[in-house]
Chains A and B, each alone.
Chain A
Amino acid sequence: MSTPEAGTRSGNSLVSDTLVNFTRWNRKLLRNPTSFLLEIVVAVFSLLLFSAVFGEVGAFALQQAGYVGIDYITFLLPAVLMQATMGSSFNSGIGLVKDLDSGMFEKTVVTPMSATAVFSGKAVSELLRIVVQLVIILGLATVLGASIDLGISGALGIIAVCLLVGLLFMSIANIVGLLARDEEALNAASMLFMFPLLFLSPAFIPLSSDIELLATFNPVTYGVDAIRALIVGEDVMTVLTVTRFGGLLNTLVPAVGILLAMNFVFGSLAVWLLGRASSTEGQ
């Protein structure tokens, strides 16, 4: 063993520290890919199930709502993409709770790595996980008959919107995780968020006026509308009427703006809570 005075540290940088944490979380995912794969299966299964069960009702509802030339399966695609994204995001909170439980959180805090690097490395790994899932789901959905009018650029746009929603729910999952500090509670919370929010949005059928007010405050509404606009290439915004940008931008610009604002609010809260946990974990 070399002498302790020699100083074998090469030092830490934001980039290298982020990479170290990114690698750790990727390794953990590869070691235990069950939930990753299950989330894809559930999404594709939902797509098949909902289009089989609601297919005819859905087609009728679409006709009533004035959607022309869209298959129900294509209409449904944003719903399963949102479902997969939200489900995947909650893993961020579960990873955090496990680290708090196992002492790895404290152990990481006590290293010379910056907290920013620790949490962004983890977040980037979790966003990458979502991207891979979305690519697979989009591929399978296309095989099953869904179509994206805007092609590859549309698909890239869809992934970008999903990441905004993913980041938002990652913040929420981390906030719940830090407050509850319990994996079971977090799992329950993910269900509590996911299904009401999906149903209180235009995800499965065109939005009914009964829930329009609730849908206005639901981030999933903006995710679904933005994705749908990118799929059909038109303005499909349900809860707001914006006309100044033209075409599908009338949906995309306000939806993305609102998602960014929500990300700012919940992201700041999550970062603040994480910072507080890092500096007072000993208590």
Chain B
Amino acid sequence: MSDDSLHNTEHERTTTETDKEDSSRAVAVKDLWLTYADGTEAVQGLSLAIERGEFFGFLGPNGAGKTTTIKILATLLEPTRGSVTVNGFDVAKERTAVRGSIGYMPQETSVDEELTARENLRFACGAYGVPRGDRDDRIAELLELIDLADVADTPAAQFSGGMKKRLDAATALVHDPQLVFLDEPTTGLDPKARNRLWDYFQRINDAGTTIFLTTQYLEEADALCDRLSVIRDGSIVADGSPKELKRRVGGETLKLEIESGSDVVDRACKISRQSDLFEADATVETTGETVRITTRRAREQGSKLLVKLQESDITVTGFDIEETTLDDVFLAIADESVAELEGGHA
């Protein structure tokens, strides 16, 4: 090797330091823009980094740009601007390599209804170049996993929606992809079918597969995801674990039912406000005989508050702690209290 080429290699090494980091990531998106032919700016300056092995949730209201983003990552749409690598491959320049390393389960169920479950899987094995000798075992294993082994030779047209979804998911996984994109995989399923799919996704994630999930069901994201990003109007507005996001929105709500007249309720309210039990930005509201205190310290301080109220001869008839759900996070984001969320993050 000549000195020149050595020199060049070293030069590249220093300039591509960040690229190297990205190449070890499952997904690395930097300043991604996508403008449709009709001028709609579906994605506006989006950046994302997903580590290998993560169970990543991508949330956002309808039309926020979730599906557009997932289609870019899955090589179905070309970005207008920005750099996108998936499993270390550039989605624009190394399409085939990206395609071979991912599984993609689109929003609409996509199975060939004229073919049986087994034939659908066999086609997928061929399409993803699974070695011939491994195909039968792989298909049997997947049929078992999705509970379709007993109807393996029935045409998919006769399957229920849930069965088709499970088959669809399995066809995206025949090649043990390093990364799977699941675009609203449980929409329209009954709770039982949904739980089964959840269990299945959890198992592949435990086995090391990175999962990129979009969903409208916040309990789904809460139950499955290690980390969430919330997208609105084509860019990320919040990012963190489900727990962090919930904490940022405002912790828990302490709910007290107070016996008898409104003056007692007012007094209870006053005590709750004046005591040093809760942080300064905790809020106290009353509706009828109920006092609601939104605080991050509901669990630690709840019983102390009860003692204080008892000392003032106020009888508490009901006591409950309501946790913040992702719905609250979602509503807060829809409510444009974004600055606050991002502030918390920084």
**Residues of chain A at the chain B interface (Cβ within 8 Å):** 1-6, 8-12, 16-17, 19-20, 23-24, 27-28, 31-32, 102-104, 106-114, 279-283
Contact = CB atoms under 8 A, between A and B. Distances in A.
Given A8-B134, A103-B108, A282-B77, A112 B176 contact: no
Interface of chain B, main secondary structure: loop
Nearest to B70: A282
Interface in B71-86: 71-72, 74-78
B76 A108 contact: no
A110 B74 contact: yes
B194 interface: no
B188 interface: no
A112 B99 contact: yes
B76 A9 contact: no
A112 B100 contact: yes
Interface-central residue, B108, B124, B127, B176, by most chain A CB under 10 Å = B127
A112 B96 contact: yes
A112 B108 contact: no
B132 A10 contact: yes
Interface stretch (B58-66, B202-210, B228-236): B202-210
B280 interface: no
B204 to A, nearest CB: 7
Contacts of B217: none
Interface of B: 36-37, 68, 71-72, 74-78, 96-97, 99-100, 102, 104, 106, 108-115, 119, 123-124, 126-132, 134, 138, 141, 155, 171, 175-178, 203-204, 207-209
Query: What 8 pairs between A and B have smallest CB-CB spacing?
Result: A103-B110, A20-B126, A282-B71, A282-B76, A111-B127, A282-B77, A10-B131, A112-B100
A102 B110 contact: yes
A112 B115 contact: no
Given A4-B207, A5-B178, A10-B130, 12 more contacts: A3-B176, A3-B207, A9-B100, A27-B119, A31-B155, A102-B112, A106-B106, A106-B110, A111-B99, A111-B127, A112-B129, A283-B77
Contacts of B68: 282
13 contacts: A4-B176, A10-B129, A10-B131, A12-B127, A16-B129, A23-B126, A31-B115, A102-B111, A102-B113, A104-B111, A106-B106, A110-B104, A282-B71
Given A4-B177, A27-B115, A11 B129 contact: yes
Contacts of B75: 110
Contact of B123 (A2, A24, A110): A24
Nearest to B75: A110
B115 A283 contact: no
A152 B290 CA distance: 94
Contacts of B209: 4
B56 to A, nearest CB: 15
B154 to A, nearest CB: 11
A1 B114 contact: no
A31 B114 contact: yes
